[in-house]
Structure 1
């Protein structure tokens, strides 16, 4: 292992996901399916919530070069999560970001293979007969503009224009003399782009079917694994492959980070907003005839940690899930911050705060500026679509000990990511019973779509040009794959019940460990016990509140 660290400067090549690092394959697959989608890019706005908004920037020639959802999503995610100068990422609790990025890479690879074939067809049938190609593109662009008009007469003009172009092409093919280079070139100039369109359509349909099969398979619970051979270097000289491999490893390491960020009303980024808070705060009074044995906040936190790990060992065999109990360092950022930065230094290794530093923060940084320590117990439920987290913090000021338990809930991935592909249909009036309508199946690849893919294909070798011409997707910041497209859990009755029910056993486990620890150290626990009973009654009927929004 030491040799591997020395070789790449970061860590060992093979990484085993730690428990609680990601979780549900359902949420992961739903997000990954976006890489294969052929929906319009604007549909991503449906997944926006009140806190995070995606931005669709239109390009210079948006109507001709615009990307679809899968193309823009794959490009945006790759740049944001694997870019050399990328900003810090927010952990994707309840999902694993590495498979999502790998599927984006795999989808881009499939499209790149398609674009190589399309570029060859475009060169042979288009560039060699450029005047005819430009003529047909002009007709199609005018038809597209006319078709997009609300004026019915203008829309009809588009259809007439296409028919007129077809008649003109037929006239050129039949009426020109058959001898000479120029007449034959003019015929080829008109016919070659049409032949190229038929070839391009077959290529596009083959790739589209492959992408849709992967999209469907991911949402069906299985799916073909993401194949990215460019991330497996075959020899030390393949710098691009080695760099990609290291970036994927860093992505996994950052997902395991024990540093999270609190952003005001947005709550702890990645964990969802705080919906409930219960505080046990009383004065430390010695038992009659005894003295209080000195202890620090970390001593109590360790006892609470041990008690929380036993949550699954209940009296009744009810299938209570095993929680993930972890020490968190919470760093404050502004509510409107558009980026976060992870701390660096001798106490940070692979995005992880070392244990001795966690202990120091827990004991010393309880008041004033600086990071804070929280003990988190997390449940990943509903195949990753519900992430419930209870955060415990212990503070001691003068003679007052305060144990605060807060509840955070991250809801399901937006329904946009869980829809399977549907056949393209169009509603038309029946021939005889014209007052009734019927649906007719449309081809997967329309003329406009084939033209769009064909004109984009030669430019895929340099994506910034396509971003300029067609537009791109700008992801909201601070960015994390999971939390920016999460909906509220309170609209699902069962999810809301799970969140509310989970609070009671966690709160009581915390109080049990606290009172036992205090009793062993000579503290009179009567007030703590009474207060615990009051909180135990209140937590039996909790309701979700906006605990991060203070009415002041």
Structure 2
């Protein structure tokens, strides 16, 4: 298959981060890899069409937090050897997000290696005591799992009671000798190991939170992925990872997209507006036929005009440089669980070749098959808003139709733009008790230290951790950007930008089409009148759900 035949150049290459100008959405998504909040928080970011889920494991003590689950799910989905096709992430650089997931995983592995050594020294040698303490924490976690204050208090009281019993047991044992010392060590050693593990977890938590904050502040510490840079021909795992990143970038540049009914074009957002210019092709001179031309001739003229959108008669800022691109749009079901990209001799590294684009544009205008659209795309608000205007030209019998549709992809969910909050508690001063002061709390609490220490020895085989603690289930068909995007209409300026782009694009499109018609001897009077009517309709300031038909 053409897609699988991507020419991966051998040798060590350093993966490149995302380009400038699209960093806000990229960094917001990447920050999820470093977060330490509950994984259930990610479900709050579910959109109307795309819903992630959490698959529960066997033991709550092994369950991952948001950063662990997000990093694991994104790596498997976007770099897996037998992965399904991905949806393009417009306005972001998915490779940069994946690199941060890899970097966060590497930091956690380094922490888990030290925790595993602590577990071996203070847990494995005193296994009965370790299992006893883990049973207590699991019981407390299960009791508190109902999110009930009384249940949580009962779990804490149970932990304190068992601790007191352990102290009493240490003071007076019914037997002596070696086993007496071993039993005492069995109770004390896991506690000592917990203290050491807490120091390790605390230092890593500070590092992760610093990276989380720096990303949302505009960059800061970059992702380091040395495992993606092969040092010798024999390092097959590094080479496979490098190829996976190269394939991800190539698929991001694909010119094939998918229309999923009311969900709109996947990755571009729902269709909020549609304007059509359709009139009969009549010769300008009576008794004389018009010159033969094709739909692609009109599209090519529109393409050249749209390239000049950034130029205007006034020095008013205006449009940034747009991305004008030919798209092949394939229809998929509204609830399709996966998509498949075009392949064969007409496709090269996920790109439909130019001759096939022209054939689809000129001949696949009615009935089954893919369709051709010319898209002009604006990436605004530092990648948080993606406006795409799609133009298609069809000729059926003697009627030429030029259709312009508007798609808008809003900002990533606000969950991804929240910074870490310091863990503090407000307490009264000792002497001046009428005054209060904020006291800094540890970043990693006691139950969290136990959870991390228990998970650490299983890091070498992540599927086992998925089985024991559960995992994040990503929405399909998956794309990083559209999976957690909000609607732009809640942001006044973003909504204004989306609707303001429609009128200039529509008029440039009509002007270019009219010029081709005049050059080929077509009477453009009725086209001109119809264009004025459509231009009046586009003044309507209300976005609509154009893909939901009341029928």
> CA offset at residue 114 of structure 1?
0.5
Q: Secondary structure at the match of 1:261?
A: strand
> CA offset at residue 160 of structure 1?
3.3
Q: TM-score scaled by structure 1?
A: 0.93
Query: Residues 86-109 of structure 1, C-alpha deviation per residue, up to 9 Å, x if partnerless?
Result: 000000001110000000000000
> 1:397 and 1:299 mapped to 2: Cα distance?
16
> 1:247 and 1:326 mapped to 2: Cα distance?
25
> CA offset at residue 432 of structure 1?
13
The alignment status of 1:120 with 2:117, answered yes or no, reads: yes
> 1:214 and 1:17 mapped to 2: Cα distance?
18
> 2:219 and 2:417 mapped to 1: Cα distance?
14
Q: Specify whether residues 446 and 273 from structure 1 end up closer, same or farther in structure 2 by C-alpha distance, changes over 3 A only.
A: same
The partner residue of 1:249 within 246, 249, 253 is 246
> CA offset at residue 185 of structure 1?
1.5
Report the count of equivalent residues.
546
Name the structure 1 match of 2:293: 295
> 1:114 and 1:459 mapped to 2: Cα distance?
13
Name the structure 2 match of 1:139: 136
Q: Specify whether residues 16 and 79 from structure 1 end up closer, same or farther in structure 2 by C-alpha distance, changes over 3 A only.
A: closer
> CA offset at residue 10 of structure 1?
3.4
Query: Residues 5-33 of structure 1, C-alpha deviation per residue, up to 9 Å, x if partnerless?
Result: xx9843587699999x9961100000000
Q: Report if aligned partners of 2:6, 2:247 keep a CA contact under 8 Å in 1.
A: no
Q: Secondary structure at the match of 2:126?
A: helix
Q: TM-score scaled by structure 2?
A: 0.94
Q: Secondary structure at the match of 1:529?
A: helix
Q: Specify whether residues 212 and 515 from structure 1 end up closer, same or farther in structure 2 by C-alpha distance, changes over 3 A only.
A: same
Mind listing any 5+ residue stretches in structure 2 that lack a counterpart? none
Q: Specify whether residues 275 and 150 from structure 1 end up closer, same or farther in structure 2 by C-alpha distance, changes over 3 A only.
A: closer
Q: Report if aligned partners of 1:22, 1:93 keep a CA contact under 8 Å in 2.
A: no
> 1:15 and 1:375 mapped to 2: Cα distance?
34
Name the structure 2 match of 1:228: 225
Q: Secondary structure at the match of 2:402?
A: strand
The alignment status of 1:43 with 2:36, answered yes or no, reads: no
Q: Which moved more, 1:189-198 or 1:139-148?
A: 139-148
> 2:538 and 2:15 mapped to 1: Cα distance?
38
Name the structure 2 match of 1:3: none
> 1:347 and 1:507 mapped to 2: Cα distance?
31
> 1:22 and 1:91 mapped to 2: Cα distance?
18
The alignment status of 1:29 with 2:27, answered yes or no, reads: yes
Matches within 5 A, 1:210-225: 210-225=207-222
Name the structure 2 match of 1:306: 304
The alignment status of 1:239 with 2:241, answered yes or no, reads: no
Q: Secondary structure at the match of 2:246?
A: helix
> 1:270 and 1:332 mapped to 2: Cα distance?
14
Q: Specify whether residues 186 and 15 from structure 1 end up closer, same or farther in structure 2 by C-alpha distance, changes over 3 A only.
A: closer
Name the structure 2 match of 1:533: 532
Q: What is the root-mean-square deviation of aligned Cα atoms in Å?
A: 2.7
Matches within 5 A, 1:119-198: 119-148=116-145, 155-176=152-173, 180-198=177-195
Q: Secondary structure at the match of 2:326?
A: strand
Name the structure 1 match of 2:387: 388
Q: Which moved more, 1:414-423 or 1:160-169?
A: 160-169
> CA offset at residue 176 of structure 1?
4.8
Q: Specify whether residues 347 and 156 from structure 1 end up closer, same or farther in structure 2 by C-alpha distance, changes over 3 A only.
A: closer
> 1:256 and 1:22 mapped to 2: Cα distance?
17
Q: Which moved more, 1:185-194 or 1:471-480?
A: 185-194
